[in-house]
Amino acid sequence: MATPIHLKGTTLEGGGQLLRLATCLSSLTSTPIHITSIRGNRSGGGGLKTQHLTSIQWLAQASDATVSGMNLKSTDIEFSPSGKSAVNGRGERGGDITIKQSTPGSVNLVFQAILPYILFAGSGSGEAVRVNITGGTNVSNSPSYDYVEQVLLPMLALIGIPAIEANVHSRGWSQGSTRVGAVTYTVVPLMKQLPAFTLTKRGDIKSIRATIVAPKAYEQQLRDELDVMFETREAKFFGAREPEVEVTFEDSQHEKRYYLLLVATTSNGVKLGRDWLYNHGVRAGNIDTVISTLVKKVSDDLLSEIEHGGCVDEYLRDQLIVFQALAKGRCEVYGGKKNDVLLEPSLHAQTAHWVAKEVISVDFNAEGTCEGIGFGDEQDKKNTVEIELAEGLQKLEV
């Protein structure tokens, strides 16, 4: 068996994303890896949390991997796929995948870990796979259900991934709540390689959609606050264009859960999103502050995304890297400029570049461009098989 590639879990961002991406690429390409000091840059000693463990367990089953260290708080895992892909983790093609978390750990970080595998491992039949995941739907520092539905999935469609349908059955919140949510994503695995893609022309801001999830009693106040904000900042958002704004509201059914997402859609179909699950403490006496702070922060954040002129927001930039690396050929994603200087990729994006380089040898340049490996084409895929011969180890390409 090949020697596992060693990945130090404290590299760059040093959090859970390194682990998700590395195990996913390892599963797809049957590359053994050894990750040490897992989430070593996080407080509390790092190690695997439920969400990470759940993702790795699914990938291990799907790729028939032998794994050591697969337990909560583990800081060291060795992950060695056998090369016999089981496609959806049950040894079947098509059908359903059900992943249950009993905590509000982020549904979408589990989805982030397994989606490339489901798409690229190849069911070949064009049959849809329903991915049911329970856990948190709106969790701080992770993609919310709303962000995935309104930004990630349309952007994946824009780069050539077959449309993925999203359904939320119930909300699950973090921050002291034990409410677990449920989501279904319906994914059609790729039947051939993902062609190279380019996202370099953003276009003008055409419309903005605001999604509010908050206690029903404050719906009107939130709508009013947004109206005033859009009126004041109309020119900044829309330039000379006629403003197009849509606001939707959903009752959070929880007196302390205030969530806002703003998504800008451009004339070229690009989506830029920013959101926030208010996390500074909600008390009976501070609702006015909660509402004004929420609207101000999210609109400030979206404006800075719009001002840099890029085709991806800060979060999408790191989430598209795996698709760039697996597509066939030169993939370019423009991240924008500040004061005429290219925006540096976030630490998460730099980490994803590093993992892609270490595990599947894809190089990203400073502009975030790479030559993707074209995963999925049997003719182009270079499966290296190691055969032990009496006189030594010889490598053959098949």
Ligand X SMILES: Nc1ncnc2c1ncn2[C@@H]1O[C@H](COP(=O)(O)OP(=O)(O)OP(=O)(O)O)[C@@H](O)[C@H]1O
**Residue positions in the annotated binding site for ATP?**
112, 315-319
Which amino acid is it at 328? K
Which of these ranges, 15-23, 61-69, 83-91, 355-363, lies near ligand X under the rule CB under 6 A? 15-23
Q: Decide the pairing of beta strands 33-36 and 5-8.
A: parallel
- Report if residue 353 touches ligand X, rule: CB under 6 A: no
348 catalytic? Reply is: yes
What is the smallest separation between the CB atom of 100 and ligand X, expressed in angstroms?
Answer: 18
- Report if residue 348 touches ligand X, rule: CB under 6 A: yes
Q: How far apart are the first and last CA of the chain?
A: 16
CA nearest neighbour of 322 among 44, 121, 112, 99: 112
Q: For residue 97, give both structure tokens.
A: 């995948």
Which of these ranges, 96-104, 127-135, 138-146, 355-363, lies near ligand X under the rule CB under 6 A? 138-146
Give every strand in the sheet of 77-81, ordered side by side. 5-8, 33-36, 77-81, 65-68
Q: For residue 363, give both structure tokens.
A: 């190089």
Give the DSSP H/E element, type plus range, for residue 265.
strand 259-266
What is the smallest separation between the CB atom of 337 and ligand X, expressed in angstroms?
Answer: 20
Of the residues 143, 189, 310, 376, which one makes contact with ligand X according to CB under 6 A:
143
- Report if residue 39 touches ligand X, rule: CB under 6 A: yes
Query: In whole angstroms, what is the distance from residue 104 CA to residue 139 CA?
Result: 8
Of residues 188-247, those binding ligand X (CB under 6 A): none
- Report if residue 271 touches ligand X, rule: CB under 6 A: no
In the three-class reduction of DSSP (H, G, I as helix; E, B as strand; rest coil), residue 393 is classed as: strand
| Cβ closest to ligand X, residue 81 vs residue 143 | 143
Of the residues 16, 116, 181, 189, which one makes contact with ligand X according to CB under 6 A:
16
Which of these ranges, 290-298, 314-322, 335-343, 366-374, lies near ligand X under the rule CB under 6 A? 314-322
Query: In whole angstroms, what is the distance from residue 9 CA to residue 363 CA?
Result: 20
What is the smallest separation between the CB atom of 272 and ligand X, expressed in angstroms?
Answer: 11
- Report if residue 117 touches ligand X, rule: CB under 6 A: no
- Report if residue 122 touches ligand X, rule: CB under 6 A: no
CA nearest neighbour of 229 among 305, 306, 293: 293
Residue in the block written with tokens 């011969």? 389
Residues 133, 111: contact at Cβ < 8 Å?
Answer: yes
Of the residues 98, 141, 279, 286, which one makes contact with ligand X according to CB under 6 A:
141
Residues designated as active site:
348
Binding site residues, ligand X, CB under 6 A:
13, 15-17, 39, 42, 109, 141-143, 147, 275, 315, 318-319, 348
